């Protein structure tokens, strides 16, 4: 096992063993329970709870701003409301989803609930209508299926990326007993 892989296993694990000490210009970098990098919140155990909570907050803030356009009382046509949803709100939920798609089912379920509530609002659906029927009527795939499609495209396209650092990485071969993102695509 290479040194970088060993460090990664030490950084994101359940173990309580001592962590390596990092220094920049002779100043020790303190350990944190989570860090934000390129819009992704990485927590110590990679549970993605804080990242999904952040997604929920962003989604709610943007949907409140768009409420006059997509609310039940809006006079805008449904297809334009769906276009607004798919262009502005869905990308908030699915940002870098190939990375965090292996999150626990309850975390993914929180995002599905957010999406279903907005879709119900857009379609002026009653409480008695099933989410699956609404999706079929507007031809919108479920969130899990959409994330799986994005992830499949991402993992299939990795070999075509010209980035030198990515080319040097070992080929990832999914293990059927692992909970890693590629395993879900099998």
Q: What is the pLDDT of residues 81-94, one digit of tens each?
A: 999 999 999 999 99
Q: How many domains does the chain have?
A: 1
- Residue 109's H or E segment, with its range, is helix 105-123
Least Cα distance to 103 among 135, 63, 32, 151 occurs for 151
116 is written with which tokens?
Answer: 């279903």
3-state class (DSSP) for residue 36: strand
CA 67 vs. chain centroid, Å, equals 23
The answer to whether residue 34 sits within a structural domain is no
Would you state the pLDDT for residue 91? 95
The answer to whether residue 66 sits within a structural domain is yes
The answer to whether residue 120 sits within a structural domain is yes
The answer to whether residue 25 sits within a structural domain is no
The pLDDT tens digits for 24-43 are 888 988 878 888 888 899 88
- State which residues form the domain around 67: 43-161
83 is written with which tokens?
Answer: 């276009």
Pairwise CA distance, residues 146 & 157, whole Å: 17
The answer to whether residue 168 sits within a structural domain is no
Contact 31, 19 (CB under 8 A): yes
Would you state the pLDDT for residue 186? 47
The answer to whether residue 1 sits within a structural domain is no
Strand partners, 40: 37
111 is written with which tokens?
Answer: 């995002």
The answer to whether residue 113 sits within a structural domain is yes
Average pLDDT value for residue range 122-148: 91
CA 12-48-116 angle, to 5 degrees, is 165
Average pLDDT value for residue range 128-147: 91
Strand partners, 34: 43
The answer to whether residue 97 sits within a structural domain is yes
User: Which phi and psi angles does 185 have, rounded to 5°?
Assistant: -80, -10
């Amino acid at each position: 096992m290479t040194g970088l892989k060993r460090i990664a296993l030490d950084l994101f694990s359940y173990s309580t063993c001592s962590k390596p000490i990092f220094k920049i210009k002779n100043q020790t970098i303190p350990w944190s329970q989570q860090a934000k990098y390129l819009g992704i919140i990485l927590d110590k155990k990679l549970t993605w709870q804080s990242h999904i909570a952040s997604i929920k907050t962003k989604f709610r803030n943007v949907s409140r701003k768009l409420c006059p356009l997509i609310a039940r009382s809006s006079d805008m046509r449904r297809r334009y409301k769906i276009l607004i949803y798919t262009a502005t709100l869905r990308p908030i939920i699915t940002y870098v989803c190939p990375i965090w798609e292996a999150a626990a089912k309850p975390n993914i379920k929180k995002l599905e609930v957010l999406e279903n509530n907005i879709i119900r609002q857009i379609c002026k659906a009653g409480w008695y209508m099933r989410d699956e029927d609404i999706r079929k009527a507007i031809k919108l795939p479920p969130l899990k299926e959409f994330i799986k499609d994005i992830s499949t495209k991402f993992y299939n396209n990795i070999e075509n990326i010209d980035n030198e650092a990515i080319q040097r990485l070992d080929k990832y071969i999914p293990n059927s007993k692992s909970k890693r993102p590629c395993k879900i695509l099998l």
